[in-house]
Amino acid sequence: MDSSPRTFIKLDSSETQPIHLQIYHRFKAAIESNLLNDGDRIPSTRTLASELNVARGTVESAYAMLLGEGVFISKGQSGTYVSTLLRKPAAKKLRTVVPPVAKQPVSQTADIELAKSVSPIYLPGCPAFDAFPRKIWSRLSGNRVRAMSAEEMRLKEPQGYEPLRQSIAAYLRLARGVVCEPEQVFITNGYQGALDFLSKVFKFYGENIWMEDPGFLLAAMLLKDLGANIIRVPIDEQGLIVSAGVDKCLDAKLAIVTPSHHSPLGLPLSAARRIELLQWASANDSWIIEDDYDGEFRYSGYPLPSLKSLDQYDRVIYAGSFSKTIFPALKIGYIVVPSGLVDICNEKAAIYQRGFTITSQMVVNDFITEGHFSRHLKKMRDLYAHRRELASKALMDVFEDKIQISSHKNGMHFVASLDHQYSDTEVCSSFNKLGYGIYPISKWTIDPKYNGLLIGFSNVPNKKVAEEMAIKLKNSFIIE
């Protein structure tokens, strides 16, 4: 790096953002403005903390976020560098030939795109970057790279790194009640990678697939792009209304559900509905994909058992991911398939699952087997419960009875319902111009009754920031 970080990291004590977030944003701005270039070496946390006269832990928190997003890369003892993968070279101008495609509704991608430098505060689905055990992760990563054998360097396991699949099977048995063998576990490129892989197994094109309404927006977009016919099934206080799905399409090929923590409303699927759903799948030779996102994070009582743990008919494909429990840039997910699907999944994996990096899988496995994963989850449950209380109380104090916060104490976000005199899309658009990233719930549904904001709380660090954020949000629209 040619210039001192003091030239672009100007800390402002009057700013509402915590110091570690100021450092985080200053670095990203420096990269975007070319003050920092690809491959530039970044000062050590000790050096930068000394230059800025802040605690070293504050700098480490900022670096952890930048490393987690892939903005920085760590090269062990040689230091930390700006990633060389951030910028793509300008493409040559060529005549573009657009292939004919079937007519579809206008893409909703723009509705979920956010600025690259969006603050993680209030951003749904982001783990607490400031609380990630970066030193442990760095040590495990360094150890793995130094100890890799020639065999491991050339290793390609389409199903995923076998020791990791063994660790996942053992973890799911204890934590989620999923009884499975490692042979049933397949590593994927995150949750969307799991859906893409399963589309090769089931050939989604032209198939009827149940989805909850509201339901996970990115999953709906992916399924539509794969040619599936999405059957929107409404929910109520007990979750997916199975009878409504039967009325709409009895013989659907698949149902995709979030039974432990509905996406995005947060409510669980009731025990009666779980049994009803399993019986429907068995009677109609259908399959269920259980997206168990945020299943580990429940702040009152014990985590609910997975739907897969009740699956006496062997019709449930369990899908999980380390994006929320470790960090999103890791992009490691997994599925547990019924024994009857193992052979065809092996065949498809041999064709389509050959591009995974083995090193990250090894580090995740070490993180689990050495006990760091379970300790980290316990710490995050306590931290998120506290931060949820901070964020929700601040909003209720500022808005009084003008918004309603969902009562489900789980996951990493909550829904703030709005009166229909306000447009959730307009509120989000106004607020996100300040550099934040909340989502309007109306974009996740075809039912006009839903009007509210998806607000993350896992990166709300303290009471002061919680109160300042609530005021900023209120200022994004006028409440009479």
Q: What share of the chain is helix, strand, coil (3-state, %, to 5)?
A: 45, 15, 40
Please give the C-alpha separations between residue 13 and each of 5, 51, 243, in angstroms, as whole numbers. Answer: 17, 16, 57
Tell me which residue has tokens 């104490």: 409
> Residues with Cβ < 8 Å from 480, sequence gap 6 or more?
none
- Using the CB atoms, write b or e for 75-101: b if 16+ within 10 Å: eeeeebbbbeebeeeeeeeeeeeeeee
What pLDDT score was predicted for residue 339? Answer: 96
Report residue 119 as tokens: 């603050």
Measure the CA–CA gap between 211 and 258, rounded to whole angstroms. 10
Q: How many CA atoms lie within 13 A of 109 on its CB side?
A: 4
Alpha carbons 468 and 322: distance in angstroms, whole number: 31
* Omega of the bond leading into 5 within 30 degrees of 0 (cis): no
Q: Residue 268: name the closest of 310, 229, 323 by CA.
A: 310
Q: What is the 3-state secondary structure (H, E, C) of 85-108?
A: CCCCCCCCCCCCCCCCCCCCCCCC
How many of the other CB atoms lie within 10 Å of CB of 10?
A: 10
Distance CA 416, CA 225 (A): 30
Q: How far is CA 324 from CA 103, 218, 221, 425, 433, in A?
A: 35, 16, 21, 25, 25
- For every residue of 385-408, DSSP letters joined together read HHHHHHHHHHHHHHHTTSEEE---
What local confidence, expressed as pLDDT, does residue 34 receive? 78
Predicted confidence at residue 114, as pLDDT, reads: 47
Residue environment code for 399-411, b if the CB has 16+ CB neighbours within 10 A, otherwise e? beebbebbebbbb
Q: CATH: 3.10.100.10, 3.40.50.300, 3.10.580.10, 3.40.640.10. Which one for 149-372?
A: 3.40.640.10
pLDDT at res. 385: 94
Assigned token pair, 407: 């009562």
- Write out the two tokens for 371: 């006990």
Say whether 401 sits in a helix, a strand or coil. Answer: coil
The torsion angles phi and psi of 8, rounded to 5 degrees, stand at: -130, -10
pLDDT value at residue 86 = 52
- pLDDT score recorded for residue 149: 84
- Fill in the DSSP letter of residue 477: S
Other beta carbons less than 10 A from residue 19's beta carbon: 18
Token couple for 422: 């306000």
Distances (CA, A) of 95 to 41, 92, 98, 105: 39, 10, 10, 26
| Residue 8: per-residue pLDDT | 66
From first to last of its 480 residues, what are the pLDDT tens digits of the chain? 444 555 567 788 777 677 887 888 888 888 877 788 888 888 888 888 888 888 888 888 788 777 765 678 777 777 888 876 554 433 333 333 333 433 333 344 444 444 456 889 999 989 999 999 999 999 999 999 898 888 777 767 899 999 999 999 999 998 889 999 999 999 999 998 999 999 999 998 999 999 999 999 889 999 999 999 999 999 999 999 999 999 999 999 999 999 999 999 999 999 999 999 999 999 999 999 999 988 788 877 666 789 999 999 999 999 999 999 999 999 999 999 999 999 999 999 999 887 677 899 999 999 999 999 999 999 999 999 999 999 999 999 999 888 899 888 889 999 999 988 889 999 999 999 989 999 999 999 999 999 999 999 999 999 999 999 999 999 987 554
Architecture of domain 109-133+374-474: Alpha-Beta Complex (3.90)
The C-alpha atoms of residue 335 and residue 92 are separated, in whole angstroms, by 40
Structure token pair of residue 128:
């607490």
Contact indicator for 438, 455 with CB cutoff of 8 Å:
yes
The type of residue at 47 is T
User: Distances from the Cα of 140 to the Cαs of 59, 145, 161, 257, in angstroms?
Assistant: 21, 9, 16, 35
**The tokens of 264 are what?**
């995005």
Our measurement of the distance from residue 444's CA atom to the centroid of its chain's CA atoms, rounded to an integer in Å, reads: 16
Q: Fold identical between 109-133+374-474 and 149-372?
A: no
Cβ contact 272:224 at 8 Å = no
Residue 5 pLDDT: 57
DSSP character at residue 301: S
List the chain domain ranges. Answer: 5-82, 109-133+374-474, 149-372
Q: Give residue 212's Cα distance to chain centre.
A: 18
Q: Give bridge partners of residue 406 from the DSSP assignment.
A: none
The rounded distance, in Å, linking the Cα atoms of 262 and 215 is 8
Could you tell me how far CA 177 lies from the centroid of its own chain?
Answer: 22
Class of domain 5-82: mainly alpha
> In whole angstroms, how far apart are CA 224 and each of 213, 253, 480?
15, 15, 40
> Strands of 80-82's sheet, edge to edge?
41-42, 80-82, 72-74
Query: Cβ atoms within 10 A of the Cβ of 39, count?
Result: 12
